[in-house]
Each structure stands twice: as structure tokens, then as C-alpha cells.
Amino acid sequence: MKALFLLFAIFLISYQAVPGNAQGPHDDTIACGRGGGSCQPVPCRGLSVEAGTCQGGTMKCCR
């Protein structure tokens, strides 16, 4: 039973987030926000036009 608790503790420690390990926002996402756009997972709606990409090309930048 003690081994089970030890394995559980090792499991929890191994899945903790490490500071500095996460990736920051993509360059295209920053450029979209600076240009007054917003990132959309679907095609641009209404009067918005597609002005580029976001999230490394996986989303649309709409203005």
C-alpha cells in the first residue's frame, strides 16, 4: 500500500507545470492583435475581412 502512495506522489510531481516550459503567443497572433484584429477559429463573419492568420496558421485574423 505504501508503494501505491509513492507511485501516486511521483505521478503528481512528474505532471506539474515547469515555469518557462510553456510556449508564448505566436508572432502572427501578436501581429493580428496589434493591427486591431481578432483571432477566430471560423471564417470571418459580417463586415469583417480576413487579414491573416493566428496561432501559427490554425486560426483566422479578422478585422
Domain count, the chain: 1
pLDDT digits (tens, 9 = 90+) for 1-41: 677 888 887 777 776 655 555 566 788 999 999 999 999 99
Contact (CB, 8 A) for 23 and 52: no
Domain range holding 34? 25-63
Q: How far apart are CA 58 and CA 45, in angstroms?
A: 17
Residue 1 domain-assigned (yes or no): no
Residue 59 domain-assigned (yes or no): yes
CA distances in angstroms from 36 to 8, 15, 23, 30, 31, listed in the order given: 47, 37, 23, 10, 9
Residue 58 domain-assigned (yes or no): yes
pLDDT digits (tens, 9 = 90+) for 38-63: 999 999 999 999 999 998 889 999 99
